[in-house]
């Protein structure tokens, strides 16, 4: 791959419209904002500077990250804090040409420490509405259940969400994966499906391929978050390809959480080659060292991706989204046009 091609690919990544489908809004809390909100709200943090926060971000596994993620979100207290957090993310990814974002939030991470559900969601929604106005970014909100908590707690969270269901596109499943299989949430996911919600779940990040099977067959999800370990099971990959499931891969997250030991081991290219609808996302950008375009650049360089492969990832991000078909078609046409321009037609 020539230097000229690499430059062209870099420009293409920057310019191509994309959707982000795997983003925990609490994971976009930058150390500066964490420090500022701790001061604003009188919350005591075990760090004495922004640099100390950043220096703490070294993780050997998912749980080590989650411990700091739950610690960090304790600075989020007021409705305005949730607004500030969300608008900062949209402002940032607007510069990465994100046109659509499907954003996770973890209500139990807040309600468990006494912050009312309505305060959390109204701050986030107000920012999503402003983000559409200011940056032209469309969005959908996905409420995640924390899988280390009980089924009962998930049902209670769904009950609290009832007045807001018009504004919630779907539900997801996150937090500590191993030991908390998808089937633990079979009944609550069935209820969510009955309520007309879309369904996604983290599966196969650290957990075995069997957890991905459960997410598909027991929870009957629409889209798989991570799904890396599906590659260990040929029959599972066949199922994913045949049924056209989208996987929301997060390369820098995988590296930072030691799911892979080298960015060149990211499954992005292998999955594309096998016909999986892979997408590239940032997961928790503040903790993992990069926003969405940083993730695209990292895999493009490490895996020598072509401009056409980058375009496929961007198209997959819209096709795997919960947007209407006509909007998806518009974005697809825009991407096709950019590919042609880049090829010099």
Using the minimum distance from each CB to ligand HPA, give the nearer residue, 253 or 295: 253
Helix axes 79-94, 31-41, angle to 10 degrees: 160
205 is catalytic: yes
Distance in Å, CB of 344 to Zn ion, minimum: 38
Using the minimum distance from each CB to Zn ion, give the nearer residue, 209 or 227: 227
27 touching ligand HPA, by CB under 6 A = yes
* Block residue for tokens 């990040």: 205
175 touching ligand HPA, by CB under 6 A = yes
For residue 311, give the nearest of 287, 294, 334, 328 by alpha carbon: 334
102 touching ligand HPA, by CB under 6 A = no
Query: SS3 of 90, please?
Result: helix
Contact of residue 216 among ligand HPA, Zn ion, none (CB under 5-8 Å per partner type): none
Contact of residue 62 among ligand HPA, Zn ion, none (CB under 5-8 Å per partner type): ligand HPA
286 touching ligand HPA, by CB under 6 A = no
Q: Which of 24, 99, 119, 184 binds ligand HPA (CB under 6 A)?
A: 24
Enter the tokens of residue 269.
Answer: 């290219």
- Nearest residue by C-beta to Zn ion? 283
Q: Which of 62, 212, 313, 339 binds ligand HPA (CB under 6 A)?
A: 62
Contact of residue 175 among ligand HPA, Zn ion, none (CB under 5-8 Å per partner type): ligand HPA
Torsion of CA 210, 262, 11, 320, to 10 degrees: 0
- Nearest residue by C-beta to ligand HPA? 174
Distance in Å, CB of 146 to ligand HPA, minimum: 8
253 touching ligand HPA, by CB under 6 A = yes
Instruction: Indicate left, alpha or beta for 116 from its phi (over 0: left) and psi (-120 to 50: alpha).
Output: beta
Q: Kindly determine how many residues on this chain lie close enough to bind ligand HPA according to the rule CB under 6 A.
A: 11
Enter the tokens of residue 128.
Answer: 């999503």
User: What is the spatial distance between Cα 328 and Cα 323, in angstroms, rounded to a whole number?
Assistant: 7
Distance in Å, CB of 254 to Zn ion, minimum: 11
User: What is the spatial distance between Cα 167 and Cα 247, in angstroms, rounded to a whole number?
Assistant: 24
Distance in Å, CB of 104 to Zn ion, minimum: 7
Using the minimum distance from each CB to Zn ion, give the nearer residue, 225 or 319: 225
205 touching ligand HPA, by CB under 6 A = yes
Here the contacts of 204-209 (C-beta below 8 Å, separation 24 or greater) are 204/228, 204/229, 204/230, 205/62, 205/177, 205/229, 205/254, 205/257, 205/259, 206/61, 206/62, 206/177, 206/178, 206/257, 206/259, 207/177, 207/178, 207/181, 208/232, 209/233, 209/236
106 touching Zn ion, by CB under 5 A = no
Enter the tokens of residue 201.
Answer: 């779940």
For residue 97, give the nearest of 6, 24, 12 by alpha carbon: 12
Q: Which of 18, 110, 119, 202 binds ligand HPA (CB under 6 A)?
A: 202
For residue 71, give the nearest of 89, 86, 53, 90 by alpha carbon: 53
Distance in Å, CB of 245 to ligand HPA, minimum: 18
**Any bridge partners for residue 145, and if so which?**
173
283 touching Zn ion, by CB under 5 A = yes
Q: Which listed residue (79, 205, 206, 319) is catalytic?
A: 205
Which region, judged by CB under 5 A, interacts with Zn ion, from 43-51, 178-186, 232-240, 276-284? 276-284
The Cα-based distances of 162 to 45, 79, 168, 197 in angstroms read 33, 19, 10, 12
Catalytically active residues, by annotation: 205
Which residues here bind Zn ion, judged by CB under 5 A?
A: 283
Contact residues for ligand HPA, defined by CB under 6 A: 24, 27, 62, 69, 174-175, 202, 205, 253, 283-284
């Amino acid at each position: 791959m020539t230097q000229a091609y690499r430059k062209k690919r870099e420009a293409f990544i920057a310019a191509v419209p994309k959707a982000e489908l795997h983003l925990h809004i609490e994971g976009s809390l930058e150390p500066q904002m964490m420090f500022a909100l701790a001061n604003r709200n009188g919350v005591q943090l075990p760090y004495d500077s922004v640099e100390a926060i950043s220096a703490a971000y070294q993780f050997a596994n998912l749980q080590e990250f989650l411990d700091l993620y739950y610690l960090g979100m304790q600075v989020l207290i007021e409705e305005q804090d949730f607004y500030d957090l969300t608008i900062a993310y949209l402002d940032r990814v607007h510069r990465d040409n994100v046109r659509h974002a499907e954003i996770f939030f973890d209500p139990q991470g807040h309600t468990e420490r006494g912050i009312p559900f309505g305060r959390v969601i109204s701050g986030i929604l107000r920012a999503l509405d402003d983000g559409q106005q200011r940056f032209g970014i469309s969005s959908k909100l996905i409420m995640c259940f924390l899988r280390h908590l009980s089924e009962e707690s998930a049902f209670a969270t769904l009950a609290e969400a009832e007045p807001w269901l018009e504004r919630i596109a779907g539900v997801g499943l996150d937090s500590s994966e191993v030991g908390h299989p998808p089937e633990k949430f079979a009944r609550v996911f069935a209820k969510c499906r009955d309520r007309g919600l879309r369904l996604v779940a983290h599966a196969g990040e650290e957990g075995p391929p069997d957890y991905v099977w459960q997410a598909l067959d027991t929870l009957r999800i629409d889209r798989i978050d991570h799904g890396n370990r599906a590659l260990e099971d040929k029959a599972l990959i066949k199922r994913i390809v045949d049924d056209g499931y989208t996987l929301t891969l997060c390369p820098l997250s995988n590296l930072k959480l030691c799911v892979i030991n080298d960015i060149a081991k990211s499954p992005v290219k292998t999955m594309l080659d096998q016909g999986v609808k892979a997408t590239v996302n940032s997961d928790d950008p503040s903790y993992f060292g990069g926003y969405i375009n940083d993730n695209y650049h990292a895999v493009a360089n490490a895996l020598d991706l072509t401009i056409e492969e980058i375009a496929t990832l961007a198209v997959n991000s819209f096709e795997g989204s919960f947007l209407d078909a006509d909007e998806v078609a518009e974005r697809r046409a825009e991407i096709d046009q950019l590919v042609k321009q880049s090829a010099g037609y």
